[in-house]
């Protein structure tokens, strides 16, 4: 099986600054999403479902919540005698210009050297998607490329750096430009790369030696100049978490039955840590419409267009609309919320009213009392 | 030799549960789904773990396939431990032939070698057909304090119902002087819950004696316990207070599920200090559509609700299509209620499909003769056709 010939490496920490509110005390990978998940669940499950059973997760700092979540990797079937999940410890870096990917790969040199797989799959944790990497690997092997870049077609996000690729009719990547102005109908890099393991180790050595550390610009440029680089288009739904608004919209996108059917494909399930909550309880006089609700919720009020994470309580008379309420948030009696993103363990007292706007949801920090 | 365990629990999970009809045709009773995301066996197993008992033997015999798979290595209950843990114990072949488990006592007798491996002081014998939360360690302590050979948990039932139960008559100090199986004129209302603590040394002796008695049906209630009492062993009744329900019949299974929706019933499944653990399927959160109406219900993950749900329990992965109504009912994992169907006072079993505009069950207030009313059941994997009707109290299922 091809998958067993691949070792996965996840950059758990990159892109966190784009949603700095949610990453104050956690890395990008452990940002909660979709009622019961963390972003890492998608990246990790995609690898596991593609037959990859050795995954290294690179962390930098504030990784306690990530470690809590991942534990031994059991929930992803990655707690095993051979291979499995490897949490790769933080690394030091003085170079603040880049995301430190090359430095972090240099710091896990031993992990890479001790692996026996021929290929490495690198991935960030800022996409919510259900991708079968087996197809991408097949394409990589068939094309004989040294490096395969995974991209999606569509518009690139405004205001943040995105890799835009030029791909010719044979699938060869001819150019890569980093842009931060939104562009329509372009090939947007998804931060997922397939490369030979030895080749990657050499590349890291060479780049470190010459201080070529800006991954998206210099390293990719170098690869384009010196290697055969192909593109692989992912055609499915890809929700890109680039800002608080994008985070909010991506959560709301789950209300679409087609999006849910694709993301939560029963043959390629998205795994996550279990909590053993009881099923959600809907009280007398509760009204819930167009909502995604996780186990352990107790709803006695009115909820519309919301994502309720595990253990959320909405008391009688409360009216909650267009909100993302994370784990164990409590909304008091007769409180009114509209366009609010509440982090974990937030408690909103009775009669309070909080109102954001579609393009600017109000964010309430973890553990706050309103 | 394995490290000693002070207490070993033996869970009797081999019964056929024939009173549950189509629900247990291909499924052992302890594996019957309960409360949206649980199975009956989650209650005794979680009780064990919450009581600090981490060596549990599960005695299986009847239709064990799904139950075995469900228990697996015991990881959902933290019973995948280095010492002890959960062990599924089916009957097996010995060098002098092989035997099915003839009765509850014989099932334990055949597993004496398993119990001896842990050299326990006490053995707790449990059954897999009750819904309750109980800290067995308190009962074991009670057993020790009384220096008893056997302690039986009892539950106070209403006096008028006492004649349906096995009743224990006790002295003022709690010691048992008489067993009264389904007495016509009950002297007390202390019903046996089928939960026993034995001092292992004593139990082993009585099991061995019982095995030698050819007239014995090798049953705890009928043979071993009366024999112990007649021999003058110290036997005590341990009074349990809290929620307890036998879910051996369709009606009691339905009622017990419905009790979860009753705020007055003391069975808190959300209590973090005494969790009921379960093997949970990997599913996304439930989706409640804009046109759905949901009230007074318990809904598990993976459900898609587009219709009306009231006073009901939807288990993992259930779909209720647009215009369908589910009222006062239990829908088990993976079932689909198609558009326009009405399910009321009913149990729809695992992966069953209720066709478009089909009707299952009836409301009791609409019945002329209440004796004809009862919970309707659609069996596992059964596909009820469009517009078909399942009468109250009726049971419909695949031919086996």
For the ranges A87-91, A265-269, B327-331, the lowest mean pLDDT is seen at A87-91
Taking an 8 Å cut-off on Cβ atoms, the answer to whether B286 and A282 are in contact is no
Please indicate if any CB of chain A lies within 8 Å of the CB of B81.
Answer: no
Taking an 8 Å cut-off on Cβ atoms, the answer to whether A274 and B289 are in contact is no
Secondary structure tally for chain B: helices H, strands E: 8, 33
Could you tell me the CA-to-CA distances from A24 to A97, A273, B296 in Å, in that order? 20, 21, 38
Q: What part of B 16-75 touches A (C-beta under 8 Å)? A: 35-37, 75
pLDDT in tens, A78-95: 988 888 999 987 666 554
Query: Taking the domain A281-364, which CATH number applies?
Result: 2.160.10.10
pLDDT in tens, B174-222: 999 999 888 899 999 999 999 999 999 999 999 999 999 989 899 999 9
Residue B272, Cβ neighbours under 10 Å: how many? 10
Could you tell me the CA-to-CA distances from B143 to B19, B37, B43, B104, B238 in Å, in that order? 33, 34, 22, 21, 8
Confidence of residue B82 (pLDDT cuts 50, 70, 90): confident
**B17 SS3 class:** coil
pLDDT in tens, B231-282: 999 999 999 999 999 998 999 999 999 999 998 888 988 888 999 999 988 9
The tokens for B272 are 């973090």
Confidence of residue B15 (pLDDT cuts 50, 70, 90): confident
Residue B110, Cβ neighbours under 10 Å: how many? 22
For the cut 90, the answer to whether the pLDDT of residue A107 exceeds it is: no
Determine which of A262, A282, A327 to mutate to test the interface with B (most B C-beta atoms within 10 Å): A282
How far is B125 from B151, CA to CA, in rounded Å?
10
Average model confidence (pLDDT) across chain A: 91
pLDDT for position A92: 61
B32-42 average pLDDT score: 95
CATH of the domain spanning A3-263, picked from 3.30.70.2740, 2.40.170.20, 3.90.550.10, 3.40.50.150: 3.90.550.10
pLDDT in tens, A335-355: 999 999 999 999 999 999 999
For the cut 90, the answer to whether the pLDDT of residue B40 exceeds it is: yes
For A75, nearest residue in chain B (alpha carbons): B282
Taking an 8 Å cut-off on Cβ atoms, the answer to whether B286 and A288 are in contact is no
For the cut 50, the answer to whether the pLDDT of residue A127 exceeds it is: yes
Confidence of residue B1 (pLDDT cuts 50, 70, 90): low
Which ipTM did the prediction report?
0.87
For residue B249, report the phi and psi dihedrals to the nearest 5 degrees: -125, 160
Q: Where are the domains of chain A?
A: 3-263, 281-364
Taking an 8 Å cut-off on Cβ atoms, the answer to whether B286 and A280 are in contact is yes
Taking an 8 Å cut-off on Cβ atoms, the answer to whether A279 and B299 are in contact is yes
| pTM of the predicted model as reported, rounded to 2 decimal places | 0.91
Q: When comparing pLDDT for A81 and A269, which is higher? A: A269
CB-based burial label for B388 (10 Å; 0-12, 13-18, 19+): middle
User: What is the helix (H) or strand (E) element at residue A110, kind and residue range?
Assistant: helix A109-114
Find where tokens 């009114």 sit.
A336
Could you tell me the CA-to-CA distances from A118 to A150, A193, A206, B178, B263 in Å, in that order? 18, 14, 20, 74, 59
For the cut 80, the answer to whether the pLDDT of residue B98 exceeds it is: no
Residue B313: list chain A partners with CB under 8 A.
279
Taking an 8 Å cut-off on Cβ atoms, the answer to whether B289 and A295 are in contact is no
Confidence of residue A97 (pLDDT cuts 50, 70, 90): very low
Quote the distance between the C-alpha of residue A185 and its chain's center: 23
Confidence of residue A2 (pLDDT cuts 50, 70, 90): very low
Shortest CA distance to B393 belongs to which of B350, B351, B364, B368? Answer: B364
For B276, nearest residue in chain A (alpha carbons): A276
A308-327 average pLDDT score: 96
Q: Which of A260, A288, A298 sits opposite B288 (nearest CB)?
A: A288
Find where tokens 């990655």 sit.
A78
Find where tokens 């056929």 sit.
B16
Q: Which of B278, B282, B301 sits opposite A271 (nearest CB)?
A: B282
Shortest distance between the Cα of A111 and any Cα of chain B, in A, equals: 29
pLDDT for position A313: 97
The tokens for A219 are 């390293």
């Amino acid at each position: 099986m091809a998958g067993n010939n691949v070792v996965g490496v996840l950059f758990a920490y990159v892109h966190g600054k784009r949603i700095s509110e949610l990453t104050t005390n956690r890395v990008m990978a452990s940002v909660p999403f979709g009622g019961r998940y963390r972003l890492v669940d998608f990246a990790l499950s995609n690898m596991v479902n593609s037959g990859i059973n050795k995954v290294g997760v690179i962390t930098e700092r504030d990784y306690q919540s990530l470690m809590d979540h991942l534990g031994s990797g059991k929930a992803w079937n990655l707690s095993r005698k051979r291979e499995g999940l490897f949490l790769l410890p933080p690394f030091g870096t003085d170079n603040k210009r880049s995301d430190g990917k090359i430095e972090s790969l240099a710091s896990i040199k031993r992990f890479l050297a001790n692996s026996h797989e021929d290929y490495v799959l690198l991935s960030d944790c800022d996409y919510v998607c259900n991708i079968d990497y087996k197809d991408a690997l097949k394409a990589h092997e068939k094309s004989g490329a040294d490096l395969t870049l995974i991209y999606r077609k569509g518009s690139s996000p405004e205001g943040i750096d995105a890799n835009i690729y030029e791909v010719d009719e044979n699938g060869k990547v001819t150019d890569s430009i980093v842009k931060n102005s939104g562009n329509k109908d372009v090939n947007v890099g998804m931060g997922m790369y397939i490369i030979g393991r030895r080749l990657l180790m050499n590349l890291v050595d060479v780049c470190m030696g010459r201080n070529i550390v800006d991954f998206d610009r210099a390293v990719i440029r170098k690869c384009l100049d010196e290697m055969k680089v192909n593109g692989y288009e992912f055609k499915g739904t890809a929700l890109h978490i680039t800002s608080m608004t994008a985070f909010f919209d991506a959560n709301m996108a789950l209300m679409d039955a087609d999006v849910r059917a694709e993301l939560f494909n029963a043959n390629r399930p998205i795994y996550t840590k279990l909590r053993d909550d009881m099923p959600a309880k809907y009280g007398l006089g509760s009204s819930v419409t167009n909502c995604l609700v996780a186990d352990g919720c107790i709803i006695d009020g009115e909820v519309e267009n919301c994502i309720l994470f595990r253990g959320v309580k909405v008391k009688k008379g409360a009216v909650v609309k267009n909100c993302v309420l994370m784990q164990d948030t409590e909304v008091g009696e007769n409180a009114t919320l509209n366009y609010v993103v509440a982090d974990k363990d937030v408690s909103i007292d009775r009669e309070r009213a909080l109102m954001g706007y579609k393009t600017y949801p109000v964010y309430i920090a973890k553990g706050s009392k309103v | 030799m394995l490290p000693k365990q002070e207490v070993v629990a033996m869970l009797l999970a081999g019964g056929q549960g024939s009173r549950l009809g189509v629900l247990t045709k291909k499924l052992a009773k302890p594996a019957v789904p309960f409360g949206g995301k649980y199975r009956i066996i989650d209650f005794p197993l979680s009780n064990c773990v919450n009581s600090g008992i981490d060596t549990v033997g599960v005695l299986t015999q009847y239709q064990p396939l799904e139950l075995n798979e469900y228990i697996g290595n015991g990881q959902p209950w933290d019973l995948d431990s280095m010492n002890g843990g959960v062990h599924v114990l089916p009957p097996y072949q010995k060098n002098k032939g092989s035997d099915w488990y003839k009765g509850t006592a014989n099932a334990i007798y055949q597993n004496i070698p398993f119990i001896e491996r842990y050299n326990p002081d006490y053995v707790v014998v449990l059954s897999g057909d009750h819904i309750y939360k109980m800290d067995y360690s308190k009962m074991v302590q009670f057993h020790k304090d009384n220096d008893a050979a056997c302690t039986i948990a009892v539950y106070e039932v209403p006096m008028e119902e006492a004649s349906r139960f096995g009743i224990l008559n006790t002295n003022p100090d709690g010691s048992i002087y008489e067993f009264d199986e389904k007495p016509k004129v009950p002297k007390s209302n202390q019903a046996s819950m089928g939960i026993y603590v034995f001092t292992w040394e004593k139990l082993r002796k009585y099991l061995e004696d019982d095995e030698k008695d050819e007239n014995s049906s090798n049953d705890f209630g009928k043979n071993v316990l009366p024999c112990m009492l007649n021999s003058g062993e110290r036997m005590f009744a341990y009074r349990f207070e809290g929620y307890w329900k036998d879910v051996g019949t369709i009606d009691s299974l339905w009622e017990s599920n419905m009790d979860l929706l009753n705020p007055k019933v003391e069975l808190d499944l959300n209590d973090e200090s005494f969790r009921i653990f379960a093997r949970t399927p990997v599913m996304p959160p439930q989706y409640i559509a804009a046109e759905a109406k949901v009230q007074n219900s318990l809904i598990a993950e993976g459900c898609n609700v587009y219709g009306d749900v009231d006073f009901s329990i939807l288990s993992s992965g259930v779909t209720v299509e647009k215009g369908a109504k589910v009222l006062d009912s239990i829908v088990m994992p993976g079932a689909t209620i198609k558009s326009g169907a009405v399910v009321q006072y009913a149990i729809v079993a695992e992966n069953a499909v209720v066709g478009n505009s089909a009707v299952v069950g009836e409301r009791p207030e609409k019945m002329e003769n209440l004796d004809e009313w009862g919970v309707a059941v659609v069996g596992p994997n059964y596909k009820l056709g469009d517009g078909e009707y399942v009468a109250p109290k009726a049971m419909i299922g695949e031919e086996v």
